[in-house]
Chain A
Amino acid sequence: MVATLEIRNLHASVDAEDDLILNGVNLTIRQGEVHALMGPNGSGKSTLANVLMGNPAYVVREGQILLDGEDLLEMEADERSRAGLFLAFQYPVAIPGVTLGNFLRHAINARLKAEDPESKGIPIPQFARMMRQKMSALQIDQSFAGRYLNEGFSGGEKKRAEILQMAVLEPRIAVLDETDSGLDIDALRIVADGVNSLAGPDMGALVITHYQRILNHIKPDFVHVLYDGRIVESGGPALALELEEKGYEWVREKHSMLQAAEA
């Protein structure tokens, strides 16, 4: 069965009384599809990513998020992850004293335990083998697994660590929140190759980006433009190029004209 993430009329804010950051987002992502979500700063891109994952810092005021018809809004972040959703963070947090390897083993074991409470977890040799394989595929040094999670990682290392986590957890739908930001061209290529090797029939992806640059490396099937908490444009790969050429000013003008016309 092809997994489907459906976002319906999603409204969200930081506090229940605050102004809305998401203003009725509608989007459907199927396993196997790559969607790019572009938009100017402050349009709500990161909010959308975090609301999808269940960040408790946000309040959903209206709308639905369904994964294969299951209501994600009823689930905490850990349940959403185990249901097959993944978020590559824009700013992954450092966790001192917890190694990347140990963390991922716990993440796998949490999945196994959710399926079978009696599970003893993944055998360590099997886990080590899998890690070695995934790390070499992503050109990540093996010593990485022994380092404390994101602590003292360079920007590029953090992003690669996010992609490694995605590779290990094998989500059905992955959201990548500005994974290209702060990367030099080599790191960008490695990250993009990682996404490309994982995206495919088994994984759908929502690639959130401010710049068109990463889309030279990750070919989206669909491109959407988020503006003022709403998707205002959707199209094929050509839309990204058009945006690159015309800039977000074009969206801004067009959209405010539309708004004025509506009013």
Chain B
Amino acid sequence: MAVVRRRSTLPQAPVYAKADVEALSEKHDEPGWMRERRIRAWELYESTPMPYMEEEWRRTDYRHIRWDQASTMVVANGAGAEQVPAKHLEPLTGEEQGGLLVLVDGKVVRRELADELRDQGIVFADLRTALREHEELLRKHFMTTAVKASEGKFAALHAALWDHGAFIFVPRNRQATLPLHVVCYNSTSGSAMGHVLVVLEENAGATVQVEYASSPGDEHASYIGATELIVGDAGNLRFVSLQDWNRETFEFSHQRGLVGRDAQLDWVNGVMGSRLTKAFIEVDAVGTGANARVSGFFFADHGQFFDLDTQQNHNAPLTNTDLLFKGAARDNARTLWQGMIKSLPKMQKIDGYQVCRNLMLSDEARMDSIPGLEIEADDVACSHAATFGTLEEEPIYYLMSRGITRPQAQLMIIEGFFDELLQRIPFDPVRRRLMDEIEAKIIG
């Protein structure tokens, strides 16, 4: 792959019009404020050029996307939960599930919530239902503080045309003691504008697992999504998201966690699928003493391109962020991680850690990692690193000398590479799932 790419043509824009925005809002009979927000976002979208040479985009060429296929809104065609492969429905964050919400092509096909959670005032609903039943909560939290339309072209497009998603709300001093599980599955190609909004009020706790996947297809598809995790003061959110789109899907997503005073966010982010993923993954430590841990797993093969942009924003003193991404690439896959730790001025006693470790499994694969720091305080502990390695013959030979076959030895070394990351994941079944994904990528 050429290091310097000449760009003679600008990226094409998705095929949408203002009328689509109005029609969507009309169709769902949305409240006026939502409609107005959509229109404003559309105007912002229209006035923003397609990104391509900005620093965070210039290494990501997505001009081959066929918007004629990938900007047709996904429409439910009657497919039900039975379409979804069983592995995506398995509870990974606990033996019992407190809630299961399955969206197929944007339509709710299953929605369950344990009575004991509902009785505490915990909301676990699809966004459409939430907009009817919890309008004020959405008005307050939906794309107002975590992910905003102003973040970029795709954020604006999402704000204008978001279509479906999940809303999880845990009131003050309540704990969702059983994990909540959301599945976003697409059985047809086209454009999915999904949104996950998690709001934990003060001293509330929850464990949430979100799975994104789609059935194999021949046509280009897109996911233009947003994830908002709002953890109130002293709240505690454990969030696991696993992305396994089909190989024709282009993901453009904005994901942000806001962590309040003395709150905890433990975020596991797995990227396995898609043809191209451009994800902005950010945590904002907004309250004194906020603590965020982000663990990223990625494994690219066969022409996949993952571009993961992470940012740790220390907007309050005494905050702690710890980010570890570990990834592998084989065949002619490409990955890019760009990390940044930022602090507002005078945010003392902050501790930021960012590391990306890369394992290159073929000569044709290319992996880049670009860590960065912008710290405007002096009493801080911040560190960053990026490492690169290949599968070396010496350890393979060592394992083989004990009777282990070459493919098994390679797999063990690759799993060993990921172990540091897996050890940070507080859920056994998530670890096992990721091990299975590694195995599938190696053998498949």
Contacts and interface: CB of A to CB of B under 8 A. Distances in A.
Top 9 A-B pairs ranked by shortest CB distance? A97-B416, A97-B419, A81-B403, A107-B402, A77-B400, A98-B416, A78-B400, A110-B403, A82-B403
Interface of A: 53-57, 76-78, 80-82, 86-87, 89, 92-93, 95-98, 103-104, 106-107, 110-111, 114, 148, 165, 169
B370 interface: no
B84 to A, nearest CB: 30
Residue among B401, B408, B412, B416 with max Cβ neighbours from chain A (10 Å): B401
B419 A96 contact: yes
Q: Interface extent on B, as a size class?
A: 20 to 34
Contacts of B418: 97
Given A57-B393, A89-B398, A106-B408, A97 B403 contact: no
Nearest to B423: A97
Contacts of B404: 78, 106-107, 110
Interface string B392-418: 011101111111111011001101111
B350 to A, nearest CB: 29
B401 A96 contact: no
A103 B399 contact: yes
Given A57-B397, A78-B404, A97-B416, 16 more contacts: A54-B397, A77-B400, A80-B401, A81-B402, A81-B403, A86-B401, A93-B398, A95-B398, A95-B399, A95-B412, A97-B418, A97-B419, A98-B399, A110-B408, A148-B419, A165-B402
Given A56-B393, A77-B397, A96 B406 contact: no
A20 B400 CA distance: 25
A53 B393 CA distance: 14
A85 B31 CA distance: 76
A104 to B, nearest CB: 8
A25 to B, nearest CB: 20
Contacts of A106: 399, 404, 408, 412
10 contacts: A93-B395, A93-B398, A95-B413, A96-B416, A97-B417, A98-B416, A98-B419, A103-B399, A110-B408, A169-B403
A77 B413 contact: no
A78 B413 contact: no
Given A56-B393, A56-B397, A98 B412 contact: yes
Interface in B382-398: 393-395, 397-398
Interface of B: 393-395, 397-406, 408-409, 412-413, 415-420
Contacts of B419: 96-98, 148
Nearest to A95: B395
Given A76-B406, A81-B403, A111-B403, A98 B393 contact: no
A80 to B, nearest CB: 8
A78 B399 CA distance: 8
Nearest to B409: A78
A163 B208 CA distance: 46
B401 A77 contact: yes
Contacts of B393: 56-57
A103 B402 contact: yes
Contact of B400 (A76, A98, A114, A169): A76
Contacts of A56: 393, 397
A77 B408 CA distance: 13
Contacts of A89: 398, 401
Nearest to B413: A95
B227 to A, nearest CB: 29
A208 B158 CA distance: 68
A98 B413 contact: yes
A96 B357 CA distance: 13
A19 B415 CA distance: 38
A95 B409 CA distance: 11
A78 B405 contact: yes
Contacts of A169: 402-403
B415 A110 contact: no
A89 B397 CA distance: 11
A80 B406 CA distance: 13
A92 B409 CA distance: 15
Contacts of B399: 95, 98, 103, 106-107
Contacts of B395: 93, 95
Q: Which of B402, B405, B408, B418 has the most CB of A within 10 A?
A: B402
Nearest to A80: B401
Nearest to B421: A97
Contacts of A53: 401
A13 B419 CA distance: 37
A114 B404 CA distance: 10
A58 to B, nearest CB: 11
B24 to A, nearest CB: 47
A86 to B, nearest CB: 8
Contact of B406 (A78, A93, A103, A107): A78
B64 to A, nearest CB: 36
Contacts of B420: 96-97
Contacts of B398: 89, 92-93, 95
A107 B403 CA distance: 6
A92 B403 CA distance: 16
A234 to B, nearest CB: 27
A81 B416 contact: no
Contacts of B412: 95, 98, 103, 106
B361 to A, nearest CB: 15
A72 to B, nearest CB: 12
B6 to A, nearest CB: 40
A42 B151 CA distance: 64
